[in-house]
Amino acid sequence: QQPVQSPQAVILREGEDAVINCSSSKALYSVHWYRQKHGEAPVFLMILLKGGEQKGHEKISASFNEKKQQSSLYLTASQLSYSGTYFCGERAGNKLTFGGGTRVLVKP
Amino acid sequence: EAGVAQSPRYKIIEKRQSVAFWCNPISGHATLYWYQQILGQGPKLLIQFQNNGVVDDSQLPKDRFSAERLKGVDSTLKIQPAKLEDSAVYLCASSLGYEETQYFGPGTRLLVL
């Protein structure tokens, strides 16, 4: 069973903020976030380990609440380059299982 | 540092034919992964190698898919015979260890007619 991401899609104006959520039914060891642009390979953004740790990449940050088995990705002051599909990956054991993705479109 | 290499980049075949994909991971990466990504979905793990041993192949359709990683470096994924539903992008990724960051190759786009 894969993690559930919400929303499925979001459209932003440049400079606006957005939040992408990733929920799991399993006890997680870590959550990984990737971004994939159309026709390209997924690119690693960050890993969050259990402990409620928050990390950042440019103006993209994320949090991980292990009790709620949920992670959130925060796009702050979005840029055109943030457009793409964001995937969370949940690690339970030695396997990474990806969610269905959230499509983000940032317009000028 | 060179990234993950894959070939071919595109492949069109007819159903019931065979096809093979090749992957060369980042030098020194012990863990290698093959994912299938159907249009509009997230990558689905097919098989995971640690050096030349299989760690997980629970989602690999073993009646038609096979993979090997001889000598613990590059890897080949084969489909024989192909079905229409195998049309997808096949992504190879590698990491230093299974808990480490995965780096993806450009993928092979397969179309089965």
- B106 in contact with chain A, both atoms CB, cutoff 8 A: yes
Query: A36-69 pLDDT, tens per residue?
Result: 999 899 999 988 887 666 666 678 889 888 888 8
Is residue B14 classed exposed, middle or buried when 0-12, 13-18 and 19+ CB atoms within 10 A define those classes?
Answer: exposed
Mean pLDDT of A80-108: 93
- In the prediction, which pLDDT does A88 show? 95
Query: B35-78 pLDDT, tens per residue?
Result: 999 999 999 999 999 998 999 999 999 999 999 998 889 999 99
HEC profile of B33-93: EEEEECCCCCCEEEEEEECCEEEECCCCCCCCEEEECHHHCCEEEEECCCCHHHCEEEEEE
By CA distance, what is A100's nearest residue in B?
B42
- In the prediction, which pLDDT does A1 show? 83
Instruction: Give whole-number Cα distances, B101 to A43, A86, A99, B26, B107, in Å.
Output: 10, 16, 17, 12, 18
DSSP label at A2? P
- In the prediction, which pLDDT does B71 show? 84
Cβ-defined contact of A101 to B41 (cutoff 8 Å)? yes
Mean pLDDT of A78-85: 96
Cβ-defined contact of A98 to B98 (cutoff 8 Å)? no
Q: Which of A74-78, A91-95, B36-40 has the lowest mean pLDDT?
A: A91-95
Give the residue from A48, A94, A104, A105 showing the smallest Cα distance to A72: A48
- In the prediction, which pLDDT does A26 show? 82
Residues of A with CB under 8 A from a CB of B: 2, 30, 32, 40-44, 47, 87, 91, 94-101
CB under 8 Å to A54, separation ≥6 — which residues? A48, A61, A62, A63, A64
- In the prediction, which pLDDT does A50 show? 74
Residue B102 has pLDDT above 80, yes or no: yes
CA distance B42 to chain A (A): 5
> Which chain A residues touch B56 with a CB distance below 8 Å?
94-95
Residue A84 C-beta-side C-alpha neighbours within 13 Å: 22
> Do A99 and A87 meet the contact criterion of CB atoms below 8 Å apart?
yes
- In the prediction, which pLDDT does A74 show? 94
- In the prediction, which pLDDT does A59 show? 80
HEC profile of A51-98: CCCCEEECCEEEEEECCCCEEEEEECCCCHHHCEEEEEEEEECCEEEE
Residue A79 C-beta-side C-alpha neighbours within 13 Å: 4
- In the prediction, which pLDDT does B88 show? 97
